[in-house]
A and B are shown apart, each in its own frame.
Chain A
Amino acid sequence: MKIRNLILLLMLISLISLYAQVNPKSFGGSFSGIKEYMPDDVKIKGSLGLGPHMISGTQFGSNTMILRDENIRWYFHDDSKSTHPGMNWLFQFNDSVIAGNNYFQVISDSAGDTGIPLTIMAGAPDYSLYIKENSGFIGMGTSNPLTNLHIADDSNPTITFEQDGSCNWGSYIWQLKADHESFSIVNASLSTTPIVIEAGAPDSTFYFNSSGAINIGTENNGSDGIIDGDVQTSKLLLGYWTISSENGTLVFKSHSNKKVFKVSKSQ
């Protein structure tokens, strides 16, 4: 009789436990104590809060989902067979170290070999990267990109080309700058500006035609270049010849640097 009662008691306990897993609401709408496992689709007609710091009673507002944690990570594990693409991806929000950085990153992860193709630092201004509806034009600093790539800034929008020295070549930096005064090509490594186009320069100030001729001030398509205006230079090189001014005397030199002809002021 005692054994029979014991069996009955065990059956009751196991049934209550089983029932509790099926009908959690009957336990105050709260799961705890075991790793919960849902063997099928789960649909929530409402909002979802995730994370160990999620507080019961959180107001969701317009948010369909809130993740709350000290280290927010969203991992996408692709378990495709090796014959199919199977890169894993991670959304990472902020560093997890003291005095670390605040950012959002998209990280690719393949067997611990990670890459970070996208980083957005906290505090980056509006539309740091903007992809426009329909056209797909890219805006950097503007929500109205008018060309394939449109870079806007309150002062001196600039593109930097940096050879970073990680290869065998030395590091070197060039920049393209544009403002209300000029468009310029800057050698940032030497701090020089070898090419400047002033704002308002007329059409074809420089026109390099398909014959290889250089034209200044005219859209000439002949094989010889035309400079429609004056040219000022410290020295003129014509093939092997050099024409320069030395202490008021115009000097013509051959390629051997021998002075062969001079013109002086009339006496």
Chain B
Amino acid sequence: MCSKILYIVLILFAFNVYSQQDIPGQRKGAPSLTKGFTVNEDLFIRGSLGVGNDMDADFSFTYSTTSYEFAMAENNLRILFDDASSAGNYPDNDWMFEFNDQQYGGLGNFKIKDVSNSTTPFYIGANAPDNSLFVQNISKDGSAQIGLGLALSTPVSFPLNIYSSSNPSIRMQQTGGVSNDYSWEFGLNQNVFEIRDVDAGTTPLKIANDGSRFTVEDNQIVFSRDTEIKGCLYIGDSDTDGSWRISNINGVLTFEIRDNGSWEVAMELD
């Protein structure tokens, strides 16, 4: 009789325990662990993983039409990659993914930090437009193309492609020190390509559309259109004896040669 009662108790206990087990593909009552514990083996999760001090039991891994395999919920989101290499000369640099500044009034951003060297080499500010940095390879030669400001939907030939609704520009800034801070820009719009001297506030070079008639080749500068010279034309060095100067002086085409430091008229055409 005792044996039969024991059998019944054990069978009921077995059903009770088995009912807590999760069967793959079916949702069952998962165990809830409220304190830290250690898994000393590989862990496989056929579902999603949520981590963080603010990860609630009712957290949804679905947002809009997207479902997440992994989510974090906390007021300081950090993932540390601690390379534990110690033997010999193996690389052991530590890295971190950091989401948003930590301090009050800080900025929203995603950063990749080089923990070992205390630098932040990569930064994406919150609300940066779509395709601020777009990398693809759809060229025939296997080279990469980078798009700044636009997804490259068709093959392009150039490694760097900069898009903007207005005045796409590149700024080059020397930051060496107070006296040597200097910036140049080059950019374009629908009318002109130009090189701008930012610190002087000037635009020393402008090329209007369809105006590319200027080339530098084989030690020659080529002007492809008629060109009026309002000043003088020097053949040779303007400071060296033996050089020539051609100029229009009051309607007279004047040819002068430099001799003993001064210009002497050699021929005049009236």
Contact = CB atoms under 8 A, between A and B. Distances in A.
A67 B203 contact: no
A153 B3 CA distance: 86
A97 B88 CA distance: 10
A150 B169 CA distance: 8
Contact of B10 (A8, A152, A166): A8
Interface residues of B, number: 162
Given A208-B207, A208-B208, A263 B255 contact: yes
A230 B84 contact: no
Interface in A209-267: 209-214, 219, 221, 223-237, 243-245, 247-248, 250, 263-266
Contacts of B96: 63
A35 B42 contact: yes
A154 B175 CA distance: 4
Contact of B74 (A64, A95, A103, A223): A64
B124 interface: yes
Given A63-B80, A154-B176, A200-B200, A104 B41 contact: no
Interface in A196-213: 197, 199-213
A37 B41 CA distance: 10
A15 B44 CA distance: 23
A25 B30 contact: no
B270 interface: no
Contacts of B252: none
B262 interface: no
Nearest to A138: B148
Nearest to B137: A115
B1 interface: no
Nearest to A204: B206
Interface string A131-154: 111111110011101111111111
Interface string B219-231: 0100111111111
Nearest to B172: A178
A224 B223 CA distance: 10
A124 B91 contact: no
Q: Which 5 A-B pairs have the closest CB atoms?
A: A133-B125, A102-B93, A136-B132, A29-B37, A32-B40
10 contacts: A15-B14, A22-B21, A33-B41, A39-B47, A104-B112, A124-B121, A147-B169, A159-B170, A180-B181, A209-B208
